[in-house]
Amino acid sequence: MSSSQVLLQAIEELRANPEQSKAVLETGHCVVLAGPGSGKTKTLTTAMARTLSEDVVDPRGVACITYNNECAIELETRLAKLGIAPGDRAFIGTVHSFALSQVIAPYARCVSIGLPAELKIATKAQARAAVEAAYESAIKGGENPHDRWGFASEKRKRDVDRTRPEWLGRNPELVTFIEHYERELRGQGLIDFDDMPLLAYRMIKENTWIREAIWARFPVLFVDEYQDLGHALHELVLLLCFGGGIRLFAVGDADQSIYTFAGANPALLESLTQRPDVETIKLRFNYRSGGMLIKASLGALGEERDYREVAGAPEGEISFWGAPMGLDTQADMIATSVIPHLISKGTAHGEIAVLYRAAWLGDKVAEALKQAGIPFVRTDTKALVRRSSRLARFIEDCARWATGGWHDADPPFSRLLSQASALMFGSHVSEAEQDALSRQLILFLESSIGSPATTHTWLQRFDRELITPWRALARNTEQEWEICAEMISGTDPTKDLDLPLAQFAGRADSAGRVTLSTLHSAKGREFDAVIMYGVNNGDFPNKRDRKTELGMREARRSFYVGVTRPRKELCLVFQEHHHSPWVQELYDRTQRE
């Protein structure tokens, strides 16, 4: 089937849902409010493919900004099925990647912005050193400079336009701190990640021709998870779309905004829906969960929403598990009772997730599952493979290929080569560079086939034979090459962390593993069964949440995100007689006729 036929079929499939169909066919500014399980990604990718096919004339294209690389990878995978590959007139990446690759890199040398010709991205260590040096020169106080920088960083992300009165008018002492910090970085030819959208905004605002150049290349801008992207992205959208002629298609859900600590503000999405020049479309149907789980989600949220199940969908199940004591006992209950209960009903290990608020809670569950012999994989901050890192995902894919070989090439070598090329050179690579990269990658992968090496040993060779030479030649300044070293440390055999390469690659029998994840890391994912761990009174919400109304709203939304992940069953685990008040609200809601 040709790509045009695939697209027509995708559009036809959406006709049964009038809201999705309307969004895909929209040709003006559009905001899609998409609740959990509402087919948001399918709507977004189909709209992108249709726009490229019908609205934008080659060689012009579209740009899609996502919250993180994990979201970008998901969109790329979906778009590939519609015949669209990254680089084929479609930019897909984070706001930082967009700012660097589409604004700063091509135009910084043409304007006076104080950047070196060969800029580099500051490492975490370099950024910390710059904070300390800036604090010494600007503040000269007796507190921890990094504690103070937390406030400065928040201001830096919020007050994007430094020509406005609030830049100097609010906390002027922080302005001095920020300016000294940025001066420290520039003196070393460095920028940090927060610099990227800020510098891009300044360049576009001060130079109309840059705005016109971006419009010439990308007449339509798509934004995924708008509620999570913060003030810098919002200011760029206002500048490019409502002051620069680019059409906006934004997707988001304020109820799932759980990144205020990183600068997200759900009110920014809501402000777009109030504009008279924006068409707002709400997706009402939940394709993930049945009626009982939808009721539970609204009980978790504590507010009414017009969400509906699809006709014929199973109701779903909710179970409540009270343990006699605290968190350790609750973790043991998950391993000895809850997971066996789910397995006995036919739920596969790989379709079960245990969700919690912080990674240290995952340690308790991990230990309990180890004792019970239940295979698991962590996707929280202690994960071996960072799902948001393109390099980590590439390394995992190479391991999968190596343990399958040419006869079971999954993923295909062409995809690995494309990933390697993007990691090394971005979107511009010569034929000679591609050929050299291909030979190097083939030699490494072929020598890995049938190797008895454990994951730790294989990663060491990966670092030595690929990462080291690539790092010296790479033009992609965004790459976090230290990821491989972190993975080597994370498989240290002296700490009993090593594992067979086939298991790391997901090819061993135990690859069907229970997922352990924080609520933040689980956002955007779905499972047949979800176990929410530690939903105790005093933990949901906790003392810190209760200090502010903002904190309470954020905690409530986190709870809601967890409750909306399952397709079939939700299991709530808590201390007996000490459950969260939100569990009670959820229970009351699901008991109503």
Annotated binding site for ATP: 34-41
**Would you give the DSSP letter of residue 536?**
B
Three-state helix/strand/coil letters over 106-152: HHHHHCCCCCCCCCEECCHHHHHHHHHHHHHHHCCCCCCHHHHHHHH
Structural contact between residues 221 and 63, judged by C-beta atoms closer than 8 angstroms: yes
Least Cα distance to 486 among 390, 392, 420 occurs for 392
Pairing of strands 30-34, 62-66: unpaired
**Would you give the DSSP letter of residue 24?**
H
Unique residue bearing structure tokens 């003196």: 187
Least Cα distance to 396 among 507, 495, 475, 482 occurs for 507
Unique residue bearing structure tokens 């939940």: 286
**Would you give the DSSP letter of residue 537?**
T
Please report, for residues 266, 363, 470, the alpha-carbon distance to residue 465 in angstroms, rounded to integers and kept in the order given: 45, 33, 9
Q: Which residues fall within 8 angstroms of residue 203, CB to CB, at 6 or more apart?
A: 103, 104, 107, 108, 111, 113, 210
Q: Which token pair is 509?
A: 């029998």
Please report, for residues 283, 286, 468, 566, the alpha-carbon distance to residue 316 in angstroms, rounded to integers and kept in the order given: 21, 13, 50, 9
Least Cα distance to 233 among 43, 86, 40, 63 occurs for 63
Structural contact between residues 73 and 393, judged by C-beta atoms closer than 8 angstroms: yes
Structural contact between residues 563 and 286, judged by C-beta atoms closer than 8 angstroms: no
Q: Which token pair is 111?
A: 């304007």
Neighbouring-strand partners of residue 529? 352, 569
Structural contact between residues 225 and 66, judged by C-beta atoms closer than 8 angstroms: yes
> CA–CA separation, 353 vs 36, rounded Å?
17
43, containing H or E segment:
helix 40-50
Is the sign of the CA dihedral 349, 351, 354, 357 positive or negative? positive
Q: Map residue 31 onto helix, strand or coil.
A: strand
> CA–CA separation, 133 vs 266, rounded Å?
34
Q: What are phi and psi of 518, to 5 degrees?
A: -70, 165
Structural contact between residues 281 and 303, judged by C-beta atoms closer than 8 angstroms: no
The total of other beta-carbon atoms located within 10 Å of residue 408's CB is 10
Least Cα distance to 36 among 330, 240, 410, 308 occurs for 308
